[in-house]
Amino acid sequence: WTLDPSGDWYYWWISIVALPVLYNCIVLVCRSCFPALQERHTGLWLSLDCMCDGIYLLDIAVRLHTAFVEDGILVRDRGRIRRRYLHSSAFPWDVAAVLPTDLLCLRLGTALPAVRANRCLRAPRLFEAFDRRETRTAHPNAFRVAKLMLYVFIAIHWYGCLYFALSSWLGLGTDTWVCPNASRPGFARPLRQYLHSFYFSTLILATVGDTPEPQREEEFLFVIAGFLLAVLGFATITGSMSSVISNMNAADAAFYPDPEPVRRYLRAQGAGGRLARRVSRWHQHLRAQRKLPAERAVLRHLSRGLRAEVAASVHLPALRRVGLFQSWEPGVLRQLVLRLRPQVFGPGEFVCRRGDVGHEMYFIREGQLAVVAEDGVTQLAVLGEGLYFGEISLINIKGEPPDPWQPSAAPRPPSLTTAPASPGNTSGNRRTANIMSIGYSDLFCLSKEDLAEVLVEFPSARAALEAKGRELLLRMGKLDVHAEAAAAAAAEEAERRVQALETALEGLQTRAARLLAQLESSAFKLVLRVQRLEGRLQRRQ
């Protein structure tokens, strides 16, 4: 068996390995500096140490079976995996981390947790687990802050433990700087000693001050080292937090448009007031509801195949609701979802108006739209989630058909009636209804150009689309059958003439080829005759 380094099993295993690494990095120093803590819970520490060592050994076995990527190909050959790991720089550190240094306790005659300090050499696995978790979590910025706070806690914890160890070496309670001894109430318990040390360490590393003045050289050197570490830690924390904030702003800018340029433009043109408030509310709606109008920009770095899979998983259910596309093959739909463009319309905003030229259709992903009369108030119909409109404008059946959502009670005014674009369609490509968004509506738009680009590669889908469009136009009474038959006959006549011209052209090409061959043959014979005459003339001379 082999593990894929990018798979789920490897991810969960490295998360498990991170636990004993954290245990050793946090608990070992505490047990070494607080002997009472080590003596009171010897059995517990022995059990946990054996468990951590077992996980370390299992991790070596897992790394001997973890595949690697070479030249873009996942290598699963166990022989190559084993050779690569044994010759890597990580193998000596992994072995050093599991050396049985506990045997030194038998020679020294006492239990010293410090001899297990080599277990902290597996810290790179902890960092790898953090990196994996950061790429998988849905809240990477929150995880970065939590990771930073963990590092701060470990630094304060280590410094506090070392402070208590120095106090024990100098003598507990010998001056006001060191940790009080057991004579002070409550300080006989290890927990109280640790909390005092942690509090003292926090005061120094946070540069808060209000700590007792050192009395001896060792104390001065320890405090100076703590202040230097505090300066470095403060700079690190400040830089990390600013990086997290800038990353959050960059992520928002990548997903959502910046409203400030539009506001400045409106102010410069003197078009503020109500229009500026509508623009502000539209941007606020995008952020509050997490709408992504710049979807293509977000997915632009993915490969075309992966981008198609992502778009299909998000938009394919909406596309399958359209009756025109239900019988199409999946390849066509996957190409279409790459061309869907999300659009968000605000309350009272018209998606299309009667008389507009229709070049796209819309899918209602969320929200409600109304078919309104010319007064812009009277609602003739309401379109909800999962419906679509304008699909007839994508079908080119000898002209551009009207929008199918025109109600029969609202006929087209004479001023908006146009001649058909070509024989067959009696309405042209003008919209015949006013579609207005009732609230905030999330739509997907598919243009005719994008559909035509896809159908070039799928002739069968084009034929099915034309047949479906002819059926819909006949049902709506918008298809002139006689004009369409005349246009078809004209197309057949044109095709016949083209074929006749192609036949005549082929005949001319054949005759030209024959004449060229005869010319080459005559030229060759003439050259031979000239050569013979020149030879005779040379012999006579």
Query: 35-49: per-residue pLDDT in tens?
Result: 888 888 888 988 999
- Give the Cα separation of 16 and 14 in Å (integer): 5
**87 within domain boundaries:** yes
| pLDDT bracket for residue 392 (50, 70, 90) | low
Amino acid at 111: A
Amino acid at 389: F
* DSSP string across 309-357: HHHHHHHHHHHHTSGGGTTS-HHHHHHHHTT-EEEEE-TT-EEE-TTPB
| pLDDT bracket for residue 161 (50, 70, 90) | very high
**93 within domain boundaries:** yes
Residues 157 and 109 both lie in one domain: no
324, 465 contact by CB (below 8 A): yes
Poorest-confidence range of 47-56, 142-151, 407-416, 433-442?
Answer: 407-416
**246 within domain boundaries:** no
Residues 3 and 112 both lie in one domain: yes
**The two three-digit tokens of residue 380, written as one number:** 């003739």
- Max avg pLDDT among 23-32, 235-244, 355-364: 23-32
390, 454 contact by CB (below 8 A): no
User: pLDDT at position 420, please?
Assistant: 38
**484 within domain boundaries:** no
**536 within domain boundaries:** no
Region 470-476 average pLDDT: 67
Q: How much of the chain is in helix, strand and coil states, percent to nearest 5?
A: 60, 10, 30
User: pLDDT at position 278, please?
Assistant: 74
Residues 474 and 337 both lie in one domain: yes
Residues 182 and 114 both lie in one domain: no
Residues 18 and 128 both lie in one domain: yes
**385 within domain boundaries:** yes
388-389, strands of its sheet edge to edge: 341-345, 441-447, 360-366, 388-389
Is residue 261 classed as helix, strand or coil in its secondary structure?
helix
Average pLDDT, the chain: 79
User: pLDDT at position 414, please?
Assistant: 31
Poorest-confidence range of 119-133, 282-296, 498-512?
Answer: 282-296
**In the predicted structure, residue 399 carries a pLDDT above the cut 60:** no
Residues 227 and 357 both lie in one domain: no
User: pLDDT at position 55, please?
Assistant: 94
DSSP run (H or E) holding 476: helix 459-476
Residues 13 and 66 both lie in one domain: yes
Residues 125 and 175 both lie in one domain: no
**In the predicted structure, residue 402 carries a pLDDT above the cut 60:** no
Poorest-confidence range of 121-135, 213-227, 238-252, 484-498?
Answer: 238-252
Region 275-296 average pLDDT: 68
| pLDDT bracket for residue 464 (50, 70, 90) | confident
Residues 188 and 118 both lie in one domain: no
| pLDDT bracket for residue 312 (50, 70, 90) | confident
User: pLDDT at position 398, please?
Assistant: 47
The total number of structural domains in the chain stands at 3
**The two three-digit tokens of residue 313, written as one number:** 């998983």
**In the predicted structure, residue 510 carries a pLDDT above the cut 50:** yes
Of residues 318 and 194, the one with the higher pLDDT is 194
Q: SS3 letters for 84-108? A: HHHCCCHHHHHHHHCCCCCHHHHHH
Residue 10 burial by Cβ neighbours in a 10 Å radius (0-12, 13-18, 19+): middle
User: pLDDT at position 407, please?
Assistant: 37
Q: Which residues contact 88 (CB under 8 A, 6 or more apart)?
A: none
Separation in Å, CA 243 to CA 7, 230, 235, 257? 29, 19, 12, 21
Q: List beta partners, residue 366.
A: 442
In a 13 Å sphere around the CA of 115, the CA atoms on its Cβ side amount to 15
| pLDDT bracket for residue 340 (50, 70, 90) | confident
CATH number, domain with residue 469: 2.60.120.10
Separation in Å, CA 309 to CA 194, 299, 305? 55, 11, 6
**In the predicted structure, residue 68 carries a pLDDT above the cut 60:** yes
**In the predicted structure, residue 408 carries a pLDDT above the cut 80:** no
Residues 378 and 475 both lie in one domain: yes
Q: Count CB neighbours of 62 within 10 A.
A: 17
Residues 114 and 217 both lie in one domain: no
- Domain span at residue 362 reads 303-399+425-479
**297 within domain boundaries:** no
Residues 343 and 471 both lie in one domain: yes
Give pTM, 2 decimals.
Answer: 0.56
Domain C-terminal end among 444, 464, 479? 479
**The two three-digit tokens of residue 49, written as one number:** 């140490």
Domain C-terminal end among 185, 208, 231? 231
**34 within domain boundaries:** yes
Question: What ranges in 171-214 are assigned the alpha helix state H?
Answer: 190-205
Domain C-terminal end among 231, 246, 276? 231
